[in-house]
Structure 1
Amino acid sequence: MAKYTADAEKLLQLIGGKENISSVTHCATRMRFVLQNPEDADVKEIEMLTAVKGTFTQAGQFQVIIGNDVQEFYNEFTRIAGVEGVNKDEVKTDAKKNMSILQRMLAALAEIFTPLIPAIVVGGLILGFRNVIGDIDLLQNGTKTIAEVYPFWNGVYSFLWLIGEAIFHFLPVGITWSIAKKMGTTQILGIVLGLTLVSPQLLNAYAVASTKAADIPVWDFGFTQIPMIGYQAQVIPAMLAGFMLAYLEIGLRKFVPNAISMIVIPFFALVPTVLAAHVILGPIGWKIGDAIAHVVYSGLTSSLSWLFAALFGFLYAPLVVTGLHHMTNAIDLQLMSQFGGTNLWPMIALSNIAQGSAVLAIIFLHKGNEKEEQVSIPATISCYLGVTEPAMFGINLKYLYPFIAAMIGSSIAAVISVSSGVMANSIGVGGLPGILSIKPQFYLIFAFCMLVAIVVPFILTIVFRKYNILNKVDDAPIRTFGAKEFRTSSRKADNL
């Protein structure tokens, strides 16, 4: 640990001293601080430290990129600073004091959907595979599917729906559980609430549109009747019900004596919530979800779809920087429920690829910068696998021009994707593997979109650097495709 002693001491000083640290932890590659006064941190000097490969601030946390030795650095830093580290959940809680109300709302949304993403990704891949073997006429001169010709694959097609149905039709169970977990309330009550929204005794949400009003089953209370409608795959009804249950339980805890809390709290939290979910929250949430989905879908299928796509493709990366991108998960899921797929998510995958390609161009331009490559190479790989934050905060935003180049490339690829009607089965791995979640009939055109998202940002980044477009900080020697290197520090962008 001695090799990090000097840098740890300097970092403590540059971050504003021990008294400026509210809490600290680390993840796989970064030190994560919540600072009393974030403006006291000398970012430029911190980034000059040998052990530091970059910094960025996100969700109220000041994060210092160290690399794979972060555990060793962290141990030395906490020893020198005389502070005790906390776990990541405690840091997130502490960081909320540095966040606006909007940022807190978005952070809450992210915390709800993040635990669900692995299942949704798997579900998307399963739906894509089922489409290939059971819904596309590939055999016997394009007249039969693989499942129709081969009994084995017919069995696979049928079996995989067991998993697909569990993930998407029963999604409200995951949402209400996740809300209970996030709010610190009783998780099993969240699960029970979710199950009451998708119970087999209810009319399946997918069958509501084709069922006559007189044929919809009801609970008859004599003085009133309540439609027995399920909320399979519905996002907003589940969220409204989940939050009502959580806040009821939290409120009841304040005045119900411990001696009877085990009986009183679950009953008076769960029963009113289930009733409200089917009488008020469910119908309202359904209409809100429908409205949002139709607005987005209409924007992506109207005569101005190219403009919508261009703007979304261009602005998605800045949304990630602000944290606003978390709202797209709910929209994607609503689109899947309403239209059997999402044309929004493919653009997100393309944006991730574009950011990675811009970093790839920086690697080419700055070849030999070993310190930067410790950030840029893993960041590129991370982008191509769907995680863009290391690339954007560690490289692209630092120089700006690669960030803009990626936004332009993403915008062009998004226009092609939307104009071609590309649809994904569901949310997937948001980088190169994202093609596995695309509906099979769009594989070729989406592959072309991916190529655009790779080539355009790469070329634009090199062009922007060569002519100092949007470049105010990068004056390092760069490489061309020939053997000759050139330096452009005397032609700063300030003169453009």
Structure 2
Amino acid sequence: MAKYTDSAKELLKLVGGSENISVVTHCATRLRFVLNDTKKADAKAIEKLDVVKGTFTNAGQFQVIVGNEVASFYNEFTKVAGVGDTATKDDAKVAAKKNMNFLQRLIANLAEIFTPIIPALVVGGLILGFRNIIGEIAEFGPNGNQTLIELSQFWKGAFDFLWLIGEAIFHFLPVGIVWSITRKMGTTQILGIVLGLTLVSPQLLNAYGVAEATEIPFWDFGFAQVDMIGYQAQVIPAILAGFVLAYLEIWLRKVIPSVVSMIFVPFFALIPAVIIAHVVLGPIGWAVGDWISSIVYTGLTSAFGWLFASVFGFAYAPLVITGLHHMTNAIDLQLMSQFDATNLWPMIALSNIAQGSAVVAMIILNRRDKAEQQVSIPAAVSCYLGVTEPAMFGINLKYGFPFLAAMVGSALAAVISVGSGVMANSIGVGGIPGFLSIQAGDWLMFFIAMAVAIAVPILLTLALAKTKLGKNAYERLGKE
């Protein structure tokens, strides 16, 4: 009998049997189930299995934390359950949507747009962070008042060269967004790239120069004129244009005969999409994006900025649970486009750190629980590097009080960050490395906020563990 046969059989029974499994896949540490009836899964009983480190439900998927040996357990489970082992994560996402309401599906779609471009945003954030260090920190030289690019031609060349990549990622972001939409919708991806390029073409007035322009060029059609404005770094115009192109192509495939579809579908999809993007959706998307970013920026820099910051810092982690946090990517990018920086991203980085710090406290409290440390230690490291889900779902939410402690620490750190005017030049770099995204002049205050995000959750978690709240959590989990 294989190592995990008994555990696999028990898990199969507790998730409601093979007939209740629509799709099952796995990631680095978790089994991901899409169940026909989620109510049949006995989460409490599953968490008592020796091989299981925890469970949670997210994005319509019931997820079981197994740990580093998840691949071996998955292979044994699929044999015992008699379910196919060829399903992919995309299959699971599609199947999971039947368990979501309209808002959840909307958020899931938004997440699927940004997920493929996150690696580029992370790279861009690191590059802009490095340019911060060599180009903005005037702490070098004989008198300690010069930047590295002022002292060395090599660093000056590196500073200029790295902007080639930074500009490609952030200024030409609409290309990546429209491509991602066509990829998600299953339409022609090269058409998405072309549409994205028409939004950032060098022929157009750069979006960053519109405010200062004395005259805006235009296309003159005789009966109408259309402003030649680019949408560099603009998120909402790109999203709207991408969906118009995708739905046009899907509709045209249904009405145009297949024998001529290769010619006429791309033609009648792309040209109207470009026209609609520049005549209608671009201006509307620009106005909506400016409206959203202005409200956020005004709120965070007003006399009541501390209140906005405390609410956001406290609520960001719960937003991650619902998936609504993906909306902040669009707001951050819009803030960067409009104000050349964002005061939202520093709070996100601090929230990541706070969740990781609460896990550190749980590592201290449960230092004799070797099984839990297989989840908690990697989860804490992951949090400090900007990925919070393993920590939140695997440890903090399971106990409850560490999650609350992290939210309080995040709120206090956010107030310090916003109150001292900390701004980030880019997004994508979260957790402790997030300081690389922060403007050089704001490093000191960000480090102070970071210290709060580390210390408060640890101390508060240790304190809450001794209260009735903590004791009830341990009793509920059978830890006492």
* The two structures share one fold, judged by TM-score above 0.5: yes
Residue in structure 2 matched with residue 172 of structure 1 by the alignment: 174
**For the residues of structure 1 that align with 2:207 and 2:270, how far apart are their CA atoms?**
22
Q: Report how many aligned residue pairs link the two structures.
A: 478
Question: What secondary structure, in the 3-state scheme, does the structure 1 residue paired with 2:28 have?
Answer: coil
**Structure 1 residue 321 corresponds to structure 2 residue 321:** yes
* 1:403-442 equivalent positions in 2, closer than 5 A: 403-442=403-442
Question: What secondary structure, in the 3-state scheme, does the structure 2 residue paired with 1:56 have?
Answer: strand
Once the two structures are superposed, residues 357-394 of structure 1 have per-residue CA deviations (whole angstroms, 9 ceiling, x without a partner) of: 11111111111111111111111111111111111111
Residue in structure 2 matched with residue 69 of structure 1 by the alignment: 69
CA deviation after TM superposition for structure 1 residue 144, in Å: 4.5
Aligned CA-pair RMSD: 1.6
CA deviation after TM superposition for structure 1 residue 314, in Å: 0.4
- Asked if structure 1 preserves the Cα contact closer than 8 Å seen for 2:129 and 2:438, the reply is yes
Residue in structure 2 matched with residue 231 of structure 1 by the alignment: 231
Residue in structure 2 matched with residue 117 of structure 1 by the alignment: 118
**For the residues of structure 1 that align with 2:8 and 2:386, how far apart are their CA atoms?**
32
- Asked if structure 2 preserves the Cα contact closer than 8 Å seen for 1:366 and 1:476, the reply is no
**For the residues of structure 2 that align with 1:47 and 1:329, how far apart are their CA atoms?**
34
CA deviation after TM superposition for structure 1 residue 473, in Å: 2.3
**For the residues of structure 1 that align with 2:465 and 2:324, how far apart are their CA atoms?**
29
- Asked if structure 1 preserves the Cα contact closer than 8 Å seen for 2:300 and 2:418, the reply is yes
1:203 to 202, 205, 209: 205
Residue in structure 1 matched with residue 147 of structure 2 by the alignment: 145
Residue in structure 2 matched with residue 363 of structure 1 by the alignment: 363
Query: Alpha carbons of 1:433 and 1:158: their partners in 2 closer, same or farther (altered >3 Å)?
Result: same
CA deviation after TM superposition for structure 1 residue 315, in Å: 0.5
Question: What secondary structure, in the 3-state scheme, does the structure 2 residue paired with 1:367 have?
Answer: coil
- Asked if structure 2 preserves the Cα contact closer than 8 Å seen for 1:384 and 1:431, the reply is yes
Residue in structure 2 matched with residue 12 of structure 1 by the alignment: 12
CA deviation after TM superposition for structure 1 residue 475, in Å: 3.8
Once the two structures are superposed, residues 61-91 of structure 1 have per-residue CA deviations (whole angstroms, 9 ceiling, x without a partner) of: 0001111111111111111111103111001
CA deviation after TM superposition for structure 1 residue 147, in Å: 1.8
- Asked if structure 1 preserves the Cα contact closer than 8 Å seen for 2:132 and 2:436, the reply is no
Residue in structure 1 matched with residue 133 of structure 2 by the alignment: 132
**For the residues of structure 1 that align with 2:477 and 2:323, how far apart are their CA atoms?**
34
**Structure 1 residue 401 corresponds to structure 2 residue 412:** no
Question: What secondary structure, in the 3-state scheme, does the structure 2 residue paired with 1:466 have?
Answer: coil
- Asked if structure 2 preserves the Cα contact closer than 8 Å seen for 1:249 and 1:269, the reply is yes
Once the two structures are superposed, residues 16-53 of structure 1 have per-residue CA deviations (whole angstroms, 9 ceiling, x without a partner) of: 01111111111111111000100100111111111111
CA deviation after TM superposition for structure 1 residue 164, in Å: 1.1
**For the residues of structure 2 that align with 1:237 and 1:477, how far apart are their CA atoms?**
48
**For the residues of structure 2 that align with 1:17 and 1:159, how far apart are their CA atoms?**
58
CA deviation after TM superposition for structure 1 residue 351, in Å: 0.7
CA deviation after TM superposition for structure 1 residue 449, in Å: 1.1
Q: TM-score, normalised by structure 2?
A: 0.97
1:187 to 173, 189, 192: 189
Residue in structure 1 matched with residue 162 of structure 2 by the alignment: 160
Residue in structure 2 matched with residue 108 of structure 1 by the alignment: 109
**For the residues of structure 2 that align with 1:284 and 1:402, how far apart are their CA atoms?**
43
* 1:367-382 equivalent positions in 2, closer than 5 A: 367-382=367-382
- The code of the aligned residue for 1:190 comes to G
Moved more, 266-275 or 219-228: 219-228
- Asked if structure 2 preserves the Cα contact closer than 8 Å seen for 1:400 and 1:471, the reply is no
**Structure 1 residue 53 corresponds to structure 2 residue 30:** no
CA deviation after TM superposition for structure 1 residue 477, in Å: 12
**For the residues of structure 1 that align with 2:93 and 2:74, how far apart are their CA atoms?**
18
CA deviation after TM superposition for structure 1 residue 142, in Å: 6.4
Percent of paired sites with the same residue: 68
- Asked if structure 1 preserves the Cα contact closer than 8 Å seen for 2:249 and 2:266, the reply is yes
Question: What secondary structure, in the 3-state scheme, does the structure 1 residue paired with 2:309 have?
Answer: helix
* 1:261-276 equivalent positions in 2, closer than 5 A: 261-276=261-276
- Asked if structure 1 preserves the Cα contact closer than 8 Å seen for 2:53 and 2:372, the reply is yes
**For the residues of structure 1 that align with 2:177 and 2:437, how far apart are their CA atoms?**
22
- The code of the aligned residue for 2:165 comes to I
**For the residues of structure 2 that align with 1:60 and 1:416, how far apart are their CA atoms?**
36
- The code of the aligned residue for 2:128 comes to L
- Asked if structure 2 preserves the Cα contact closer than 8 Å seen for 1:204 and 1:231, the reply is yes
Residue in structure 2 matched with residue 28 of structure 1 by the alignment: 28
Gaps of 5+ in 1: 479-486, 490-496
Query: Alpha carbons of 1:477 and 1:462: their partners in 2 closer, same or farther (altered >3 Å)?
Result: farther
Query: Alpha carbons of 1:82 and 1:477: their partners in 2 closer, same or farther (altered >3 Å)?
Result: closer
- Asked if structure 2 preserves the Cα contact closer than 8 Å seen for 1:366 and 1:477, the reply is no
**For the residues of structure 2 that align with 1:73 and 1:339, how far apart are their CA atoms?**
50
CA deviation after TM superposition for structure 1 residue 152, in Å: 1.7
Residue in structure 2 matched with residue 334 of structure 1 by the alignment: 334
**For the residues of structure 1 that align with 2:131 and 2:434, how far apart are their CA atoms?**
16
- Asked if structure 1 preserves the Cα contact closer than 8 Å seen for 2:396 and 2:403, the reply is yes
- Asked if structure 2 preserves the Cα contact closer than 8 Å seen for 1:245 and 1:269, the reply is yes
Residue in structure 2 matched with residue 87 of structure 1 by the alignment: 88
Query: Alpha carbons of 1:471 and 1:280: their partners in 2 closer, same or farther (altered >3 Å)?
Result: farther
- Asked if structure 1 preserves the Cα contact closer than 8 Å seen for 2:174 and 2:233, the reply is yes
- The code of the aligned residue for 1:403 comes to F
**For the residues of structure 2 that align with 1:25 and 1:293, how far apart are their CA atoms?**
38
- Asked if structure 1 preserves the Cα contact closer than 8 Å seen for 2:316 and 2:325, the reply is yes
Query: Alpha carbons of 1:144 and 1:374: their partners in 2 closer, same or farther (altered >3 Å)?
Result: closer
Once the two structures are superposed, residues 416-438 of structure 1 have per-residue CA deviations (whole angstroms, 9 ceiling, x without a partner) of: 00001111111132211111111
Once the two structures are superposed, residues 95-126 of structure 1 have per-residue CA deviations (whole angstroms, 9 ceiling, x without a partner) of: 00001111111111111111111111221222
**For the residues of structure 2 that align with 1:65 and 1:21, how far apart are their CA atoms?**
17
- The code of the aligned residue for 1:23 comes to V
CA deviation after TM superposition for structure 1 residue 134, in Å: 2.6
Question: What secondary structure, in the 3-state scheme, does the structure 1 residue paired with 2:255 have?
Answer: coil
Q: TM-score, normalised by structure 1?
A: 0.94
Once the two structures are superposed, residues 458-493 of structure 1 have per-residue CA deviations (whole angstroms, 9 ceiling, x without a partner) of: 010111111223652214999xxxxxxxx9x7xxxx
- Asked if structure 1 preserves the Cα contact closer than 8 Å seen for 2:341 and 2:426, the reply is yes
**For the residues of structure 2 that align with 1:135 and 1:220, how far apart are their CA atoms?**
44
- Asked if structure 1 preserves the Cα contact closer than 8 Å seen for 2:125 and 2:429, the reply is no
Once the two structures are superposed, residues 209-261 of structure 1 have per-residue CA deviations (whole angstroms, 9 ceiling, x without a partner) of: 1112xx21111111111111100010000000000000000111112111100
Query: Alpha carbons of 1:467 and 1:284: their partners in 2 closer, same or farther (altered >3 Å)?
Result: same
* 1:275-314 equivalent positions in 2, closer than 5 A: 275-314=275-314
CA deviation after TM superposition for structure 1 residue 448, in Å: 1.4
